[in-house]
Amino acid sequence: MSALAFLYLVLPFLFIFVIHKLEEGLLLRKWNQKRMSEASAYSPFSDKTFLPIGCESTKTFVNVAIVELLFVVAVSAAVMVGGSMAVFLWSVVFLAFTLCMIIHLVQFNIVKGYVPGLVSAIVMLIFAGGCIPIVLRSMVGAQLFLCVVLATALVALHLCLEKKLFPKSK
């Protein structure tokens, strides 16, 4: 895939990523205050990774979002410089973010209503629906399997770190 063609994937992805973090950042704390007490009534998963994090500290959330953005920008910039490993790493990050968007849909289903990040998650999933075949076409066999495994591991790591950084209020 040429750098220009890849740019058509990277720029909208970065834009959606920023919009998603803004949607979460602006709405998560207030939403948590209103809904978390109700959420336990909806599902046995209330203390598991599918329900939203505590996020009592807006400053911590913003700091984490900035670090995530810098990571995504760095990986995207590496693709522009070139190299198949950079494209592979970007693909892992892209698939991981797409999996996180699916988690927002699971959260929506569990709480039977809006969760912060849902609107941008739907936009991302529409975008990903067109991009994933393009991204995956550049991989074969074991490389594709490794990409999916690493993306899943990255999501699991991200959720674990969120739970550590944003414990739920009691």
Local confidence pLDDT in tens for the 170 residues of the chain: 566 667 777 888 889 989 998 888 888 777 777 766 655 555 444 444 444 455 556 777 777 788 888 888 888 888 777 777 888 888 899 899 999 999 999 988 888 888 888 999 999 999 998 888 887 787 888 888 998 899 999 888 887 777 776 665 44
φ and ψ at residue 82, rounded to 5 degrees: 120, 170
Total domain count for the chain? 1
Residue 158 resides in a domain: yes
CB 147 within 8 A of CB 92: yes
Per the structure, the complete domain to which residue 125 belongs is given by: 3-165
Q: In this structure, is residue 81 part of a structural domain?
A: yes
Residue count (the chain): 170
- 5: burial class by Cβ within 10 Å (0-12, 13-18, 19+)? exposed
CA atoms within 13 A of residue 163's CA, in its CB half-sphere: 12
Of 66, 142, 147, which is closest to residue 99 (Cα–Cα)? 147
Q: At which residue do the structure tokens 């959330």 appear?
A: 61
In a domain, 170, yes or no: no
Does a structural domain hold residue 51? yes
**What's the whole-model pTM score?**
0.78
Instruction: Name the residue among 24, 19, 12 with its Cα closest to residue 128.
Output: 12
Q: Tell me, yes or no, whether 104 lies in a domain.
A: yes
